[in-house]
Amino acid sequence: MKKYTGILYVLAAGVLWGTLGAFVKYFSSRGFGSVETALIRVGTAALSITVYLLIKDKSLLKIRPCDIWCFLGSGLCSLLFFTLCYFEAIIQSSMSTAAVLLYLAPIFVMLMSRQIFKDRITPVKLLAIVFSVGGCALVSGIVGNAVGISLKAIVFGIGSAFGYALYSIFSKLALRRGYASLTITAYTFIFAFLGLLFFADLGFVAKNIFVEPITPVMALLIVAVSSMLPFLFYTKGLETVEAGKASVIASVEPVCATLIGVVLFHESLTFTQALGVISVIFSVILLEMNPVKKKN
């Protein structure tokens, strides 16, 4: 039962991450750039979770100096690096191309997990990756369309996938050192926020965040719905789910993003995209059919 609870946590994280595009569209319509939107999302999340922990349990903010590299890794090498590469991939190509390249992340996770955690790469896992990446390609619309992808877009897209994959690795390492998921999530956002300060236009954010009453409300929602909750759920899920397996399960994110676009923004859902949705879901089912038992 505990195993399936972990899978549900990861699935919930993927669904909530899929809502990010709706918030980005709002801030973009108000003149906020991608880096400034990332600063609002990461900065508000860092502040909110830190205040919450100071009130609830200060001990969760205590980390050993010898373990700080885990949180520097999840914050700077993962969340910050992923965010900047992902947004640049979108600028250099398109949302669909960036999304497909991003979901090469499970490949990186499984390769790194094999070396670091000695997780087995089974034929079922490899087949799940094929269906997952293929499904993302179908959902995004890149398959069947003549899309020219520049070398720069490919480099940034692969970089975003690598950064995305690193969160699974560094979080798993921190969990093995006895840290709670709340602690890992908090320091991931704190270090990512500190890094973003070097890239964002702080003056623009300070000037425009309170121009409309709804904007600060949206800032809180982007934190709660697409930042804090999914990161907490995903990190919690890693307690019982392999890092490689979790990264594939979380690939329901682009599927959810597509469905949200259809329902809220009246975007069309083609037959090809529907096949992609089925393909990603099937990749998750394949993982649950994996007969290989994990050794204790």
**Span 216-266, pLDDT tens digits:** 999 889 888 988 889 889 888 888 888 777 877 887 877 787 778 777 777
Nearest partner of 17 among 237, 228, 277, 226, judged by Cα: 226
Considering the chain, what is the average pLDDT of its residues?
Answer: 83
3-state secondary structure of 9: helix
Is the pTM of the predicted complex or chain greater than 0.85?
A: no
CA 125 to chain centre: 20
pLDDT confidence of residue 178 = 93
Does residue 172 have a pLDDT over 70?
Answer: yes
pLDDT surpasses 50 at 179? yes
- As a whole number, mean pLDDT of residues 291-296 equals 45
Q: What is the pLDDT of residue 288?
A: 64
| Alpha-carbon gap, residue 246 to 17, rounded angstroms | 14
Mean pLDDT check: name the lowest of 6-10, 128-132, 205-209, 290-294.
290-294
Which token pair is 284?
């998750």
> Residue 293: what pLDDT?
46
Q: According to the model, what pLDDT value does residue 89 have?
A: 80
Share of the chain above pLDDT 70, in %: 90
